[in-house]
Chain A
Amino acid sequence: MTQHFATIEGVSRPLDTALSETVVRIVDLKRRFGQTPAVDGVSLTVRKGEVLGIIGRSGAGKSTLIRCLNGLEQPDSGQIFVEGREITGLSERELQPLRRRIGMIFQHFNLLSAKTVEENVALPLKIEGLPKSERLKRAAELLELVGLADKAKAYPAALSGGQKQRVGIARALAARPAVLLSDEATSALDPETTRSILALLKDINQKLGLTILLITHEMEVIRSIADRVAVIDAGRIVEEGPVWSTFADPRTEVTRSLLAGIRPQLPQAIVARLAGAGREAILRVDIAGEAVRRPLLQELATAVPSRFRLVHGGIDTIQGEPVGTLFLGVETASRGVAEVVEFLNARDARVEVLGYVTDNA
């Protein structure tokens, strides 16, 4: 893969047209703090118009990664291309014009308290050197877009958290960036406000075709707006793919544990009674797409003689794709469990025997 990139680069630098649909390209990025590697060889591509979510636990290196993208943090090695131009190794002064192509929103909003809302939104344009009338005109448009036109003259202290982040978004969009970086933008907000901010970001992504790269530790954020997800752990990308398929079939322990909060889980009362053997096997069945659309349980009941029951479960729609997790209790008499597993596996369901219970309370 890296070899392939190198070839293309050799032909046309710095604007490699062959990858024109790529807005951000990261190649083998590394950054360590003392002995601890924060980012340990990350390669990623963000395509034009998509929302890429990077998720990881705290300390996984996601903050360092996103801060490298606009040069707030200098990587030790590796390359970053934004719109085909390499930004790694540039001086602070050389970075300045490029940063105007990259908007950023922050967990704690970072609005200037001494400036009004419209002055905050217009600030990137002031730095760019636009005349005042044009700045204020653009600020008014953006405040209209984020639904805060009536707060133009207010100071940030008079706004709620959600309103502050809307101002932050308006400010990040002022200079018409090619990509928006979101650094835990909803982590300081309550669930309801989080939903409204995510809806706004999704809306902007669709209306303006804006490319968004966000980092978060909440799967809920990924679920509601990301098209693709990359899971980062100990500075490495351990899993990457479309959100729905990653949700349906998480391949790493980290992903599974991050998903735990928003996917159906086996009730604790049953987990506590799981044993190595028993009258009933508890199965976890993960299904997505076609497997959800067909009458799977009815087919199962017809095909296998074993009695089974639905213990727990749920089906969710992610990016328009149904993704479900079901917990089945299957009677262990006459090797029924193996039959059930075989039948489900043949129909694209992922089955895992979690354990056995004896009394089906």
Chain B
Amino acid sequence: MSQIMLELLLRSLWETVLMTAASGLISLVFGLPLGLALVATDRGGIAEHRWINGVLGALVNGFRSVPFIILLVALIPVTRLIVGTSIGTWAAIVPLAIAATPYYARIAEVSLREVDRGLIEAVRAMGGGRWAIIREVLVPEALPGIVAGFTVTLVTLVGASAMAGAIGAGGLGDLAIRYGYQRFETAVMVAVVAVLIVLVCGIQWIGDRLVTRLDRRA
């Protein structure tokens, strides 16, 4: 592979990592509280509120049912409002983050829901309020699942960022389509796939190690 190709590959890798990391971080910051809100406002939750729960649930489902490629285009006005442009790597981060947030919220919700109700009861019985329950029980007890879910979200984002080429965001997926597929450069295609495999395996490996270290159950 030529020097130029190698540079292109490296730049694309950087773009993919940037898109994944930035939108992943945003989805964590907003998705985890959203997941907590879904669990807390649900029936029998610590802040039961049917109305809010219904609205949040519908919002999450709505965003999750729109295919990402559509969302990418549909959100262009929002993107322009936030980053000033609708083209490029940073512009792709907005739709990626908006798609990943409800996705991660659902994954976090599942882990939070699995926390033994008896533990919540124990903390209530010792005089703990909602905050204490969230801080001392829900988040720490669900942490292994929350981290494992975040790993899944990151891997999904690596895949989704391939579509971001459609709005000129670059990245490995874009490289593979333009050079590997449209120009029949098989070597580029193989190289991209190899890099993606290493990237995804790396994310998964780090995630798994973290979960093992965090999990104190048995």
Contact = CB atoms under 8 A, between A and B. Distances in A.
Nearest to B46: A92
7 pairs of A and B residues whose beta carbons are closest in the complex: A110-B122, A114-B140, A99-B127, A124-B126, A100-B127, A110-B118, A104-B125
Contacts of B125: 70, 72, 99, 102, 104
Interface string A151-179: 00001110000000000000110010000
A287 to B, nearest CB: 43
Chain B, interface size category, equals 20 to 34
Given A99-B125, A127-B127, A172-B126, 14 more contacts: A100-B127, A103-B126, A106-B122, A108-B118, A110-B122, A112-B136, A113-B141, A114-B140, A114-B141, A114-B214, A127-B128, A128-B127, A157-B217, A171-B126
A100 B123 CA distance: 11
B137 A127 contact: no
A273 interface: no
Interface in B38-84: none
Nearest to B141: A114
B216 A110 contact: no
A96 B119 contact: no
A157 B215 CA distance: 10
8 contacts: A70-B125, A92-B129, A99-B125, A102-B125, A127-B127, A127-B128, A175-B126, A175-B127
B123 A127 contact: yes
A229 interface: no
Contacts of A114: 140-141, 143, 214, 216
Contacts of B218: 157
Nearest to A119: B136
Contacts of A171: 126
A124 B126 CA distance: 6
B124 interface: yes
A112 B126 contact: no
B119 A112 contact: yes
A115 interface: yes
Interface of B: 116, 118-119, 121-129, 132, 136-137, 140-141, 143, 214, 216-218
Nearest to A92: B129
A10 interface: no
Main secondary structure of the interface of B (DSSP, over half): helix
A77 to B, nearest CB: 22
A112 B121 CA distance: 11
A168 to B, nearest CB: 8
Given A110-B121, A113-B141, A155 B216 contact: yes
Contact of A127 (B116, B118, B121, B132): B132
Interface in A97-149: 97-100, 102-104, 106, 108, 110-115, 123-124, 126-128
A70 B140 CA distance: 25
A126 B136 contact: yes
B127 A157 contact: no
Contacts of A335: none
Chain A, interface size category, equals 20 to 34
B127 A124 contact: yes
A294 interface: no
A96 B127 contact: yes
A93 interface: yes
Contacts of A104: 122, 125-126
Interface in A55-76: 70, 72
A93 B131 CA distance: 12
A97 B128 CA distance: 9
A72 B136 contact: no
B127 A97 contact: yes
B118 A106 contact: yes
A114 B140 CA distance: 6
Contacts of B118: 106, 108, 110
A172 B121 CA distance: 13
A127 B141 contact: no
B121 to A, nearest CB: 6
Given A96-B129, A108-B118, A126-B136, A113 B217 contact: yes
B1 to A, nearest CB: 48
A110 to B, nearest CB: 4
Contacts of A127: 123, 126-128, 132, 136
A100 B128 CA distance: 9
Contacts of B214: 114
Contacts of B136: 112, 115, 123, 126-127
Contact of B116 (A93, A110, A157): A110
Contacts of A102: 125
A263 to B, nearest CB: 34
B127 A72 contact: no
A95 B217 CA distance: 31
Contacts of B123: 123, 127
B61 to A, nearest CB: 30
Given A157-B216, A157-B217, A96 B128 contact: yes
